[in-house]
Each structure stands twice: as structure tokens, then as C-alpha cells.
Amino acid sequence: KAGVTQTPRYLIKTRGQQVTLSCSPISGHRSVSWYQQTPGQGLQFLFEYFSETQRNKGNFPGRFSGRQFSNSRSEMNVSTLELGDSALYLCASSFPKSGGLLARDTQYFGPGTRLTVL
Amino acid sequence: GDSVTQMEGPVTLSEEAFLTINCTYTATGYPSLFWYVQYPGEGLQLLLKATKADDKGSNKGFEATYRKETTSFHLEKGSVQVSDSAVYFCAQNPERGAQKLVFGQGTRLTINP
């Protein structure tokens, strides 16, 4: 079974530009969560999408947005990039079709997209 | 609020040494607890998990027990290998059904041959 895939793996942008990152979850998973990883702040939750609806949102400015498509693939967008947005952006999927209650909590992560803002 | 605190790193051990990485959490409810591992240049891999008090998660020789009375989930391994060198993250999911992990700051582990 293929894992979570993220594209692109690396991106270089300049301040003020916008960027779109893509995440394809494990087949059958319906929930996609996004996280930002930086050396200073560590791993922080951005938002979660389930069945095309944003269910939870972290404490990030409105420049960070996302969406989910009917096939559960998700994209996140960052507008008006700032230097501090340089980070590893990780996507995780969960909610397999089969499995009991215990399986619901497990998130499986992709390799991440490394964004550098110059 | 909900949080996770891990022991400060980095941690350097010799091969075959005993490993403990401390993790404590604060939560208003009854979270699920996880350990993830991150190798250089990669995403996070689930190492083990526990969903209720006194559960023991185990995988690849690593173990952790969900201790509600001490709000802890310490990671242990009896004999580490060079290949265990990585960054280890303790995390909680404070709200069941909401896929929203709260992570500790991570502990970098280096194993010397």
C-alpha cells in the first residue's frame, strides 16, 4: 500500500510570493492534517481536513489556507510569503476505512515539503 | 492548555546501552499518546502508541507505558543500535476523533559504535 506522498519535495520562493503544496493520503484515508516544522518552534499543527471540510485549525495567520478534494487529496496554500515561513511542511493522513476505534487516532506522515523563502 | 514536554537533548550513548527518553504531558481529557521517529531528511514515522491508561506500546525493541497517575509516557529500549540514531518526538492527540497532534520539542539521539 502506497504511503502518504507530498509534492514537491523542495521549493524555493521569494518574499511576497505565494505557494501551493500538495498531499495525497494513503488510499482509503479521509482525514488529512498539516503541520509546520521549524527549528525554533518545533512541530505545530496547521489544520485538518475531513471529507472536504476543515475540522480543526491551529494558531496560524489567515495567509495559511488549505482545501481537500473529493478524492481526499489536499492542498495547502501560503500567500504573501515571509522569511519565517521557511520550514518543513508535513502532511499526515488517517481514518482508514477498516479498523476499529483504536486505529482512528494514528496519523501517518509523508516525507514533507521543504520550503525556503528568500 | 494541552502540551508535551520531553527531556532535553541531545542524548549520546554507546551501542548496546539502555535508553530512556522522558516524556510528560498535560491534558484536560484522556489523550492518545505516541512516539514518532524522524531520520535525517525524512518525515515522521510512527514508532509506537497507547490509547488508554496502563497500555504499553512496543515496536522494534522500544517500549512506552501510558502512566495516567504521573502523566508520563517514557520511551525505553534495552539495547540501542547505531541505526537508532534519529530524532524522537513524543506526541499526544488530546481530542479523540480530531486528528490534531501536540508534539514535544524532540530529542536527538546519537548512538556511537
Cα B65 from Cα B54, distance rounded (Å)? 6
Residue B7: per-residue pLDDT: 85
CA dist list (Å): A101 to A96, B33, B104: 10, 15, 25
- Residues of B within 8 A of A33 (CB-CB) are 99-101
- What sign does the dihedral B41-B63-B98-A28 (CA atoms) show? positive
pLDDT tens, residue by residue, B37-47: 999 888 999 99
- Interchain CB distance below 8 Å, A33 and B49: no
Residue A95: per-residue pLDDT: 74
Is A96 in the B-facing interface, judged by CB distances under 8 Å? no
Is B29 in the A-facing interface, judged by CB distances under 8 Å? no
Q: B13 exposed, middle or buried (CB, 10 Å; 0-12, 13-18, 19+)?
A: middle
- Interchain CB distance below 8 Å, B96 and A110: no
Is A36 in the B-facing interface, judged by CB distances under 8 Å? no
Per-residue pLDDT of chain A (118 residues; tens, 9 = 90+): 679 999 999 999 999 999 999 999 999 888 899 999 999 899 999 999 988 999 889 999 999 999 999 999 999 999 999 999 999 999 999 875 444 444 456 899 999 999 999 9
Q: Is the pLDDT of residue B25 over 70?
A: yes
pLDDT tens, residue by residue, B49-106: 998 899 999 999 999 999 999 999 999 999 999 999 999 999 998 876 678 899 999 9
Residues B66/B49, Cβ–Cβ less than 8 Å: no
From the list A6, A104, A107, the residue facing B101 with the nearest CB is A107
* Nearest chain B residue to A29, by CA: B99
